[in-house]
Amino acid sequence: MVGAQRLASLDVMRGFAVVGMIIVNWAATVANHHVSVVPWPLLHAEWTGLTPADLVFPAFVVLMGVSLGLNYDASVKQPFRRVLVRSSRLFAVGLVLSNLYWLRDPDPDTFRILGVLQRLALVYLATALLIRHSSSRFQIVMIATLLVGYWAALLAPLPSGVPRDITVPGANFVSWFDRVTLSGHIYVPGPSGYDPEGVLSTFPAVACV
């Protein structure tokens, strides 16, 4: 959106991303209940690899970046309060949706802190501030720093002494960090648990936006 006008191509791409999200969520539900065989392109890769379903979330964050870039290029500077309120609302909605089952059967060990909408909220807040208060050169440096830093974190040794293996779920420093900082509130619990929307993995999403 630029001023009061809508950019049709951006809205169309948002529509495709939403349709993709609905289809992928439906496919996951069907697969979980073993109703029928779901084609592999509609399911996320279990750990390693890439499927079309894995491109839905990156599409959302890229479109968010395009929207922010257009707004700020047009000098439509959103007040910090509006950015904070918008991200807070999105985080709150995500917190509720991530814990619908918990609301029916409250258990402190199953309450999830982060999720897809929560990540979008955090990424929006961080990126809006970066775009507003930094130069393009600094943003390029930040992108490189975030991506290289995340790569280094994945290859870092685990403090617990467990062998690191990025091809094995949970056997990396990023997952270990989530298990410590989110203690008991991650998507896949346990000593080898991990969270696909964890703390450190949020940083490359900021770079993507």
Q: What is the tens place of the pLDDT at every residue in 129-147?
A: 888 888 889 999 999 999 9
Give the residue-averaged pLDDT of 71-97: 81
Q: What pLDDT band is residue 161 in, cutting at 50, 70 and 90?
A: confident
Q: What Cα–Cα distance (Å) separates residue 149 from each residue in 107, 143, 169, 179?
A: 35, 10, 20, 19
Give the residue-averaged pLDDT of 113-138: 91
Are the C-beta atoms of residues 94 and 118 closer than 8 Å to each other? yes
The 10s digit of each residue's pLDDT in 28-61 is 888 877 656 788 888 888 888 899 999 999 999 9
What percent of the chain is modeled with pLDDT above 70? 93
Give the residue-averaged pLDDT of 147-173: 90
**Residue 75 pLDDT > 70, yes or no?**
no
The secondary structure of 6-50, three-state, reads CCHHHHHHHHHHHHHHHHHHHHHHHHHCCCCCCCHHHCCCCCCCC
**Residue 160 pLDDT > 60, yes or no?**
yes
- Residues annotated catalytic, as ranges: 44
Rounded CA-CA distance 64/10 in Å is 10
The 10s digit of each residue's pLDDT in 169-197 is 999 999 999 999 998 788 888 888 899 99
Nearest to 198 by CA among 184, 187, 206: 187
Q: What pLDDT band is residue 1 in, cutting at 50, 70 and 90?
A: very low
